[in-house]
Structure 1
């Protein structure tokens, strides 16, 4: 799942264009040559693999290393010899990592190391989801040996996973196969884009079965990797798919959809200096009202919001409320919001409670959360995962204390806004170790700390 767009979207956030952790790849100053033919994995002469993936702009690429470092690549303005320039992570800070691309069939030079393109066994396919036709792709390391395979389960993004997900390049270079597919209503898949977790989990089940079919005996163990919103979908899919051997969740929530906004508002208020218990109790009245409005597409909740406004709107903390949607709803009229609701229908599973699945699912799970995640605050999820682990559920949970959504490291610019610099060291290696062996036997994984489960 591309960290440039991974987030747990809610309907009203989409309506009012709330700022995501990453919106889209910054467009280059001028359109350059089509670089997409260079997408793939390359083995460097020092043994490392580098994945080069597409973005939503054909003249922009993104490279990633297993240690989590990443950068954007774009043709140098006015260049006639194919020279590339880059920026660190998702920032605008110039990157000193030099990358040279030859012709489409040639290798690369990455930071002074020659790299040859890796050849994988790739099968493109179309299969039946829950009433839709889905486009998928299985990517396996070349050869005849059985390998573990992971099915990538989307977050809330509405673009093609087949075209955009970097794991299909990086993971097979490390001995793990990947099945990637376009969620319904995106890319080459039919149907309507939705955030209905039940339909999406049925599609994920179909994807896993298709991976087994086209794998033609090469699939060893197989499971799911879901990021962000995929943290709700992947365990639900596993509960319906007995063939699933494991589930990995990255930066998801073990709480419902409404909890995301509620907990973001708490972070907003604490950051603004309003973190006392009395203020947070007042804010909870507001988020209960806005959550009711969002989850009923404006049919209910206005009476409760009016009551909260009457009591608290003039208090200084009110203006600090943002959240995923609470600040927006609180400052728009019912007519304004109704007009927007009429334009969008994503069928968000507002009432979905993940805990019944997590309490009963026998499939081993690895959960990884960011301790400084402002998009999906993880404090309550950490508590729930720890309790589930102590209760004997097959859940290993890990936190990267300073990581944001996407398990991304960041720095702050002059305005105090987060600029994401890389994937946290150890995160990708952790995912691969657990897929391969079902255990985390490579500690330390960067700054990660285990919450529950055997080391």
Structure 2
């Protein structure tokens, strides 16, 4: 072991090998997660862990000492809709008037992002300043967890104001990044946040009911079912969309009829989607009486039209999509973004092959189950370059649509 390396408890942060290679450590449910700049991921409690933690450094592959980068971090609290949210500005050494600044719109996870999310550190390691915050009801922030997108967009606008206040004089371009569910929220906030660009990773220009229907169709396709079964599934996702949009007032009798007609079919139990599988497993009378409390408390606004929201965005947009995404199948989104681009909007779309949700490459077993591996190469480079205002030719295996 190199003499200069002293083992010590792990710390969050960025540890750099050279000008391009680095690894970021973040807190995990167990131990610390690590993400190398090339997309390799792991956890300090895994077998075969690739690094060891030390004082102001990590030891990579048992031999290379990578020192910790002296990031400038400013913790803060800011108000939105009467509650206090916790945030942190992170800047790489040398941040100045030409450094891009971004604020992230979160995915649907119910955990906080401060110290825990890998994406912000991957941007800071590439020279982009980031304001990260714990969304309402998570981490160090007050309030109740919600999936009400307009309210979350209001929080993102408040976070943008705070980010620009803290970074005053040390940033140039300002934009929003959204991943997964954040792909709905960032466009809603863009104009009020005065964002000069958007970067969306594995998001959708489709509403939640359309996402559910696409998930169900993909599930059955992946199990080898053909058009006849998928057409039946489309019938039931149309029914469940009516149910959730009406607050359980429309469609329950049709759901009962579908359950009785197809409940014993082998494909019936395979349906999951975002919520359709839950509805299929419940009697209509129970839904009529009680709804689904764990969904209902999320306060989802079912009236939002993502196409109309995207149409109102007036700044350049990057959409980086995972070709094999089971959670957010991209086909409809690509079609709609292409149409909006044809109407004059500045939209760039990159599709990453052999990537699932979260931009994770994967190994697929014979039964169709997938084990996530690395973050697909090129994804983080593309997002950072878009923030800096100039994209290049090659980002891993991605291709433009």
Q: TM above 0.5, one fold?
A: yes
Aligned to 1:132: 83
Listed as ranges, the matches of 1:244-393 within 5 Å are 244-276=195-227, 278-334=228-284, 336-337=286-287, 339=290, 341-342=292-293, 345-393=297-345
The whole-number CA distance in structure 2 between the counterparts of 1:272 and 1:424 is 25
The match for 2:21 among 45, 48, 64 is 48
Q: Does 1:222 align with 2:222?
A: no
Secondary structure at the aligned position of 2:301 is classed as coil
Q: Alpha carbons of 1:290 and 1:175: their partners in 2 closer, same or farther (altered >3 Å)?
A: same
Could you say what secondary structure the match of 1:431 adopts?
helix
Q: Which TM-score applies when normalising by structure 1?
A: 0.81
Secondary structure in 2 aligned to 1:161?
coil
* Aligned partner of 2:391 among 426, 440, 451: 440
**Relative to 1, partners in 2 of residues 1:319 and 1:185: Cα closer, same or farther, differing over 3 Å?**
closer
CA apart distance, 1:382 = 1.3
State the distance in 2 between where 1:144 and 1:322 align: 46
Structure 1, unaligned stretches of length 5 or more? Answer: 1-32, 75-85, 87-93
TM-score by length of 2: 0.91
Match of 1:72 in 2: 43
Paired residue secondary structure (1:260) = helix
1:212-238 deviations in whole A, cap 9, x for unaligned? 101121121111111111000001100
Pair 1:98–1:188, CA change in 2 (3 A) = closer
Whole-angstrom distance in 2 between the partners of 1:34 and 1:119: 17
Partner SS for 1:38: coil
The CA deviation at 1:271 is 2.4
1:425 to 377, 381, 389: 377
Structure 2 counterpart of 1:61: 32
**Residues 67 and 390 (structure 1 numbering): CA distance in 2 closer, same or farther, change over 3 Å?**
farther
Aligned to 1:109: 59
- C-alpha deviation, 1:416, in angstroms: 3.6
Change (3 A) 1:313 1:445: same
State how 1:98-247 maps to structure 2 within 5 Å: 98-102=50-54, 105-111=55-61, 112-143=63-94, 145-146=96-97, 147-241=99-193, 243-247=194-198
Q: Distance in 2 between matches of 1:316 and 1:173?
A: 49
Partners in 1 of 2:81 and 2:17 — Cα distance? Answer: 42
SS of aligned partner of 1:123? strand
Q: Indicate the SS of the match to 2:236.
A: helix
Instruction: Determine the C-alpha separation between the residues in 2 that align with 1:46 and 1:213.
Output: 29
Query: Secondary structure at the residue paired with 2:26?
Result: strand
User: Per-residue deviation at 1:412?
Assistant: 2.3
Choose 348-357 or 151-160, whichever is displaced more.
348-357
Does the aligned pair in 2 maintain the 1:239–1:357 contact within 8 Å?
no
The answer to whether the Cα contact below 8 Å between 2:324 and 2:355 also exists between their aligned partners in 1 is yes
1:400 is matched with which residue: 349, 352, 362? Answer: 352
The Cα of 1:286 is off from its aligned counterpart by 0.7
- Once the two structures are TM-superposed, the CA of residue 73 in structure 1 deviates from its matched residue by 1.3
1:63 and 1:71 in contact (8 A); partners too: yes
Question: Secondary structure of 2:250's match?
Answer: coil
Alignment check: 8 A CA contact 1:45 1:113 kept:
no
Q: Does 1:410 align with 2:362?
A: yes
Contact 1:298/1:334 (CA < 8 Å) preserved in 2?
A: no
- Give, in angstroms, the shift of residue 172 of structure 1: 2.0
RMSD: 2.2
